[in-house]
Chains A and B, each alone.
Chain A
Amino acid sequence: DTEVTQTPKHLVMGMTNKKSLKCEQHMGHRAMYWYKQKAKKPPELMFVYSYEKLSINESVPSRFSPECPNSSLLNLHLHALQPEDSALYLCASSQGTGYGTEAFFGQGTRLTVV
């Protein structure tokens, strides 16, 4: 199984809503990531979890709150977002041994903030 599964695939939310994005992998990977991708731009790193601990936060606004309940799951909790937060949110995972290995990406959640 080389899949990273993200739900939902699409999400429309208002600026006062609270929602969560979910990501799951069963490859035994110990590093998991959240990326934000705007149209015609590269993926932009938001957070890295290594062995279930937050290791990198790229100065992401607090309206985005990551959570790693266990080694297979990664959530991104959203609250009071702005329209400019509309983007494709990609989850990825890798072996996380510190030795560069393939990062597997999920299909993404296309988020629209209205």
Chain B
Amino acid sequence: GENVEQHPSTLSVQEGDSAVIKCTYSDSASNYFPWYKQELGKRPQLIIDIRSNVGEKKDQRIAVTLNKTAKHFSLHITETQPEDSAVYFCAALLEGGSEKLVFGKGTKLTVNP
């Protein structure tokens, strides 16, 4: 089955700096990669996603890149703000198969003012 590795487990940055979180996946057939943000005591919420036919996707300060050959995908947050502080989870899904979304272990991001 699919296995998703996520690094780092914790990340601390200064406000205004960039943050990068990296994930690798094991099943080369996976083709949908969402990122979820979970604030303390709240539900996970989708912030951006990418499909395997696209190498990069951007939404304001958030971007995701995908390297299918290396089976890597990364989340980039620019101009970080204190409200970006949360736990971020990457995930992978095999489209057309079972609806089994496999999550990485999460990255706790702290943005210091």
Contact = CB atoms under 8 A, between A and B. Distances in A.
Interface of A: 31, 33, 40-45, 48, 50, 55-56, 90, 94, 96, 98-100, 102-108
A97 to B, nearest CB: 9
A68 to B, nearest CB: 13
B35 to A, nearest CB: 11
Given A42-B106, A100-B34, A106 B43 contact: yes
B47 to A, nearest CB: 10
The secondary-structure label for the interface of chain B is: loop
21 contacts: A33-B99, A41-B105, A42-B89, A42-B104, A42-B106, A48-B98, A48-B100, A55-B98, A56-B99, A98-B97, A99-B95, A99-B96, A100-B31, A100-B34, A100-B49, A100-B95, A102-B49, A105-B43, A105-B45, A106-B43, A107-B42
A41 B6 CA distance: 12
B106 A50 contact: no
A23 to B, nearest CB: 12
Interface extent on B, as a size class? Answer: 20 to 34
Contacts of B51: 100
Given A42-B89, A45-B101, A100-B32, A105 B44 contact: yes
Please give me the 10 A-B residue pairs with the lowest Cβ-Cβ distance, nearest first: A100-B32, A42-B103, A105-B43, A102-B46, A31-B99, A98-B96, A100-B93, A100-B95, A105-B44, A48-B99
A96 B101 CA distance: 12
B95 A98 contact: yes
A48 B93 CA distance: 13
Contacts of A43: 44, 89, 103
